[in-house]
Amino acid sequence: MDAGLIIGRQILIMFIILFIGFGCSKKGLITREGNKQLSAVALHIVNPLLIFMAYQTDHSSRLMKGLCWSFLLSAVSFGVMIGLSGLIVSGKREDFALERFSCVYSNCGFIGIPLIRGIYGDEGVLYLTAYITLFNILVWTHGYMTMKGQADRSTFFKALRAPSVVAVFLGFIFYLGSIRLPGVLSSSLQYVADMNTPLAMLIAGAAAAQTDFKKAVRNKGLYLVAAMKLLILPMAAFFIMKLFPAPALVLMTVTIAAACPVATTGTMFAIQMDKKPERCSEFFAVTTLLSALTLPLITALTGLMLA
């Protein structure tokens, strides 16, 4: 299937579920407090299980070299984006913490997995797990501290004990050791893990229902985040990663993951911390819509440069 069609289909699915959450909030079925509880379930139960279950697959030594390259390039990509976002998004801006977080962390799972699978198959998805692994480690350490506004040592070690980070390490140990869960237990946990995308979209939609969109479009930060997240930072990371002699498939996989729209995790963090979740929902909704244009563009441009 054409990359543009794959991207468009995923965005349509996301927005349908988001509008359901929007309607639930407007009808009072999801209250502000209820949305906060739903986000806690998503962050502390559903998301960790999704991460762990992603590693419940057969170990292949043939692909380990590419996976190692993917870990390295993913680290380079995040380093470039974190560094540039800190330089470009001034700490004097009112919502700088939300903007810096949104510039770095992408919706690399829901958009990235079907897109990469459609273009590069299961091998591409395996390499994407390296990016998703680093995403989850960083989003619960650097991302968490960025949103919270605290960078002390205790906050860092507390973040390392977060369920999603623990799930990354446990999942990787099980993967390397070829340890598979029993069928019934595996199916049960997978059912919960599969709730991740619809639950995240419902939460984002409910938060969006409390957003003043007329005010949102007047917010210059929205355009800054969109330009940085969708174009400037992923392309900057691509040119740095291109200096490494990594396989083209790995480089393309990491670049596409970095160019995905803003992560819904930011909205859930903001809800938990009472830090303008409606602003994060604006970033998510607008960048998701614009990614229908920017993702095919970046995929085509980077593909031509590697040809």
Residue spans of the domains in the chain: they are 3-306
* pLDDT at residue 10, as a whole number: 76
Q: What digits encode the pLDDT tens for the residues 148-162?
A: 877 767 767 777 787
SS3 call for 91 = coil
Give the pLDDT mean for 15-19. Answer: 87
Question: Is the pTM here over 0.95, yes or no?
Answer: no
pLDDT confidence bin for 1, thresholds 50/70/90: low
Q: Are 26 and 206 in contact (CB under 8 A)?
A: no
| Lowest pLDDT segment from 170-174, 211-215, 295-299 | 211-215
Q: Taking 80 as the threshold, does the pLDDT of residue 215 lie above it?
A: no
Give the pLDDT mean for 110-131. Answer: 82
> Which amino acid appears at position 252 of this protein?
M
Other CB atoms within 10 Å distance of the CB of residue 137:
19
- Phi, psi values for residue 106, rounded to 5°: -110, 165
pLDDT confidence bin for 272, thresholds 50/70/90: confident
For domain 3-306, the CATH class is mainly alpha
Other CB atoms within 10 Å distance of the CB of residue 228:
23
Q: Taking 70 as the threshold, does the pLDDT of residue 192 lie above it?
A: yes
Q: Are 224 and 230 in contact (CB under 8 A)?
A: no
* pLDDT at residue 258, as a whole number: 96
Q: Taking 90 as the threshold, does the pLDDT of residue 23 lie above it?
A: yes
The first and second tokens of residue 151, run together, are 């960078």
Number of helices followed by number of strands (H, E) in the chain: 17, 0
Q: What is the C-alpha radius of gyration for the chain, rounded to an integer number of angstroms?
A: 18
Higher pLDDT, 214 or 100: 100
Report the distance separating Cα 115 and Cα 262, nearest Å.
Answer: 16
Report the distance separating Cα 64 and Cα 172, nearest Å.
Answer: 13
Q: Are 205 and 21 in contact (CB under 8 A)?
A: yes
